[in-house]
Each structure stands twice: as structure tokens, then as C-alpha cells.
Amino acid sequence: MNRNKRSIVLDFKTEQGSDILHKLIRKSDILVENFRPGTLARFGLDFEAASALHPALIYCSISGFGQTGPLCDKSGYDFIIQAMGGLMSFTGEPDGEPMKVGVAVTDLFAGQNAVIAILAALQARTLTGKGQHLDISLFDSQIGMLANVASNYLISGNLPKRYGNAHANIVPYNIPSRS
């Protein structure tokens, strides 16, 4: 995964680490961070401080529940977001327990949303010369991916069911039963 990449380890709690990071911010296009909201502000590395160093910086924050709101101070990771976001409620066998998806799809959804937002912010920067703070939430990303399941619930008020490998709205869309 890290082939052909350059990396550096900094302790931005130290003056030397903070100085190096400030130099990097001044010459970077994009900064992506995934600390809990407020963590980087304690070190003078939040969006306001970073954009004072480099007004054209695109600053992308990825967190479990976003930078604001009632759950912003909570940690969030893929498994918990799959449960809280409803994905596990309709994943698995019809008579079985809720089940997480086999890969960390919520992380992937959020990463994809971050890339889309960064590309849009870069395009906006070519017109305005200004950077932006992008707030990407795993929870928001998961809710956005509920697609037809969310629509079905919002229209009918009925909670989604587990369909195994079948689909709630499209047929044929499953592995045939073995009988």
C-alpha cells in the first residue's frame, strides 16, 4: 500500500515537529486529517490556523460523526457506524442476527466522499484562489449509501428486513434456493 510513497513521522507536540509541519502546510495543496474534532485545535493545527499559514490549503477532516453536532466528540469506526447507520439491520440471513459487511465499506464510502470533495474544492480554488475546510463524516457517508432501503423506509415507515442475498425491490436478484 505504501509503495512509491514518501513518508515522515512528526511529533507535532514538540517545537521542532510543529515547525516542520508548518513548513509542509505552507507548501502543500491538501491536508487530510482524521483526529477527533478539536484535537488539532489544541496544537494550533486546526483549519483556521492552517489556512492562516496557507490560505489556498484544502483541509479535509474525516471523523466518525463530523466536526459539529451531538455526537462529534465520539470516536467512530467502521463497525460501529455500520450498526448505528442501519446497514447491519438489513445485512445477513432473513432469520439471522444483524451482520456487518465483509469489508470496511463505511471507511471506503467516506474515503470516496473525501476524494470527491477534495476534487471539487481544488476546482473551486482555481476560480477563487481560496482553500476550504471539508467535513467528511463516516456516519453521513453510511446514511448516504442506504439508497433504496432508506427510500423504502421514508416512504412506508416500515423497518427494513434482512433478505440474505436477495434484493428488496428487484427480482430475480439472488442465489436460487437449493431444493
Q: Which three cell numbers stand for residue 162?
A: 434482512
Catalytic residue among 46, 78, 107, 135: 107
Q: In Å, how far are 16, 127, 169 from 9, measured between CA atoms?
A: 12, 34, 49
**Alpha-carbon distance 116 to 14, whole Å?**
34
Q: Catalytic residue at 78?
A: no
Catalytic residues: 107
